[in-house]
Chain A
């Protein structure tokens, strides 16, 4: 772990271990909020903020928190940060607060954050944890932005609320609805499969057994 350069910690979150497209973590908010690029960026930034805060505090306290009660500690810390973000967004970006709705408090359930706390911040220095949080957060934001851009451009003919010339008349409205989220995400995963020649996802069958957050949710720990 020590030999890993700072740059590789940062970039692995964006490409090799992209939480959404490669590890398939925390996809509920990704599918739900990716109807508009603006909302997608908002959710991405909010999640990155919580991830950064959680990583910093957990890596600072990694020698203080007893191993046995570490998961309740993470839960309290993360939900506290989410409450903070919720209040900030409600006060300074009310439109975003309305658009994200229930998915803003649900950042507290996002398994990407638990997974990073358990896998990375728990074992690494503050500096590396900050870089890791920024990388993973950026990867999360970029992935959700990519899905949202496709859905908004082809579904509504706009991008960030601006009309796209040429797409305004030939859009496919279903892409902005619930089924469109599943279709676009499914096709993107297939594309990742194609590019990585199946090595990214196939080596681990999707399911709870190989989910990195299985330890956090208790299934792995129960064994």
Chain B
């Protein structure tokens, strides 16, 4: 196991190829839930949780079930169903055994089924040919990058909500343009991950 490779995958997922700000994945929760810091942290933690679990389940299924039987074309159908079932299952288990965690994440769990960031992570894991540990690292990094973007953006929105832009820019357009500025700042990280150890 190459530790350096894992760090590169992680940094790349968090900073360089940030899922929200560089790849436009998971924009709906990014814009919809980022008004309050508490909600954005809860949503991001739920995303990290589901992303890692989904990666841990879909990777063996693709490698040991779909690939050997030449059923790679079923990938989308199988993965979406797995994510949908997994989310329901997590919800039931948390509600029954870990009520404290359910209270914090429960509201956000159903939203995961149609979240494109989750499906993107599991498909990228397969397309990039990651090993199992690399896939988990990539999922954790993607979720962490989401948390970073959400926390920063909710901080920005706390200010822009009180700002006084032109009438037609109020609300969503204002949020989108501040997201653009935040996204620009992430260009500063270009090339950081690849050259980390060289």
A residues sitting closer than 8 Å to B (CB atoms) are 24, 27-29, 31-32, 72, 75-76, 79-80, 82-83, 86-87, 102, 105-106, 108-111, 114, 174, 177-183, 185-187, 189-191, 193-194, 198, 201-202, 205-208, 211, 213, 216-219, 221-222
Contact = CB atoms under 8 A, between A and B. Distances in A.
Given A102-B120, A219-B111, A174 B27 contact: no
Contacts of A177: 187
A182 B181 CA distance: 9
Contact of B80 (A108, A208, A219): A108
Interface in B1-31: 21-29, 31
B123 to A, nearest CB: 6
Interface stretch (B57-65, B139-147, B169-177): B169-177
Contacts of A27: 27-28
A214 to B, nearest CB: 9
Contact of A206 (B32, B181, B186): B32
A208 B22 contact: no
B196 interface: no
B124 interface: yes
B113 A179 contact: no
B179 interface: yes
Interface residues of B, number: 52
8 contacts: A28-B27, A31-B24, A82-B76, A83-B75, A102-B123, A179-B181, A189-B176, A190-B168
Contacts of A24: 172
B32 A208 contact: yes
Which among B123, B172, B183 has the highest number of chain A CB atoms within 10 Å? B172
